[in-house]
Structure 1
């Protein structure tokens, strides 16, 4: 790890050093050597190669957890829209209350004008003005009538405008309620799918014997190592040498402090996270709020080329942008992987990369 990189990672340096094996292009992931002092006997049974059935289990688990991640993104998006719409409805309700008070006040003014006319004998100011024999009263009356006409016109216009505003607020509130209800249904559907996918995955894993679980874990690690090695063998690390921004360093420090905390779908801290909950909270802590979901992070944040990637940038994974991780330098990421796992360090190329986005571009 270069001097510049050590300055970038600060609190993450120890963790990243622990995975330097991931950062060495062309690294061969060999089987562990026998412990000194022991030797294999002719009767020792070699570890059988992974069965096709177990590989199918791994692939099915990947699909189930991927589908759960997609549903989690849908749930989080619906949750964000629900919050926005609830706030919008509250704001509209306040406008409606204020508008009703204003309309009542205007009605009181109109009523006062009507009562004044009644007290003057029922004749409108215009008629009184025309029937006057006093020249001075005639002149004064002309001004009064003109002012009265202007005031009446203004009052009527104000009442009409206020009534239209109230109707607009009411229509907007009704539309927001419909959207809110739709998003609540979307949240419920996504929540149901998440639970179904995770329950199916857990049930599938529960049927495995201890040795099968160990072999399955080895298969997962092997697949990640192969993907990381292929990515590193492209020579990409020779091109990636950008330094983190000040906010990027803060985001990396925050993400590093969350290592070991459990993945929980829909969680955004402080005790647990899902993938985008971790990245969005890290950047909020760095003073730069970003969208809540990985898909919105991909849509809204500025895209950068992988070779221009710097610590703190976010790597978006899979064609549907269903997973996100934070790049921390030297070919490594910090992310919240999936249910049953914790926030951890992994190889940046261990999953299919869709692209890279920069929150503080």
Structure 2
């Protein structure tokens, strides 16, 4: 599955010229033999994963990393456990995206993790991506390309993750392979005891997000199933292969406990990208789980202040004051209140808040700028 814009259109032109390649045995069956091109894809994937670990592209929470790994382990067939470098990476990106590399590494954006509602939806998503790796779909699609050199040369960029993003071009799988990932991935989730009725939801979340962002579906293959078709395919499976199946585990409480702190981190990413509505919703969602969170209230203040609408400064100050009533040592709230009051012309109220911010954050990256603000408020040259 992919939601990235058409940043890889040049590669799409190459991929579109390919003809169908022979299917490969699953890594869960027999003793698969890898040829040179597949081994190379694994090497490049490993390098890309190392890059992602060291360039700040990943969410830093080790507890979230462990949780994602535990869910993936429930899905991974025992015979494939030693044949894949199966791991789930949470990419710090508020956009919705997920894809798998040839070696079993699965990348899921924090934006998508914050949209999912329970562990069953996560398991269905991971099962889908895991199937791509188990059935070696990346290799199959790579071999459909007549000019492989053109694709190999494309491994130099993509979606802010270097070669990792370029490798994700293989996520534009053909209709047949995507259908197989739907079916086999859902079977993995069902075998692990999850509620298969949740199957359409990850794709409904993606479709809703794309409509909100007014994006077109950017799949690289002309015959790639549209999202509505994908949702319909899952509903067909529920009405046929899984007809009469009731219950199953949703794991909502467990999921919310694992991703709770992610709501706030992802909301900050949305705000940094100027996406005020999603940032506000993320902070509000976090406050539903932690009603007395000063940092979340401070973030709502930041959103209100940056909107620059009528009455935004007063609204921002209100959020900051609520945050400080909960925790006077919240540096984000002190900074935000000081700046909001300064913009409103309240120099007397702004100065102590900004001084307190610098006390709480003596090594703040914006220290020089805040000191300049204070000097101006104090009338110093």
Q: TM-score, with normalisation over the residues of structure 1?
A: 0.20
- The structure that is strand-richer by fraction is 1
Q: Taking CA–CA contacts closer than 8 Å with sequence separation of 6 or more, which of the two structures ends up with the larger relative contact order? A: 1
Q: TM-score, with normalisation over the residues of structure 2?
A: 0.19
Structure of higher CA gyration radius = 1
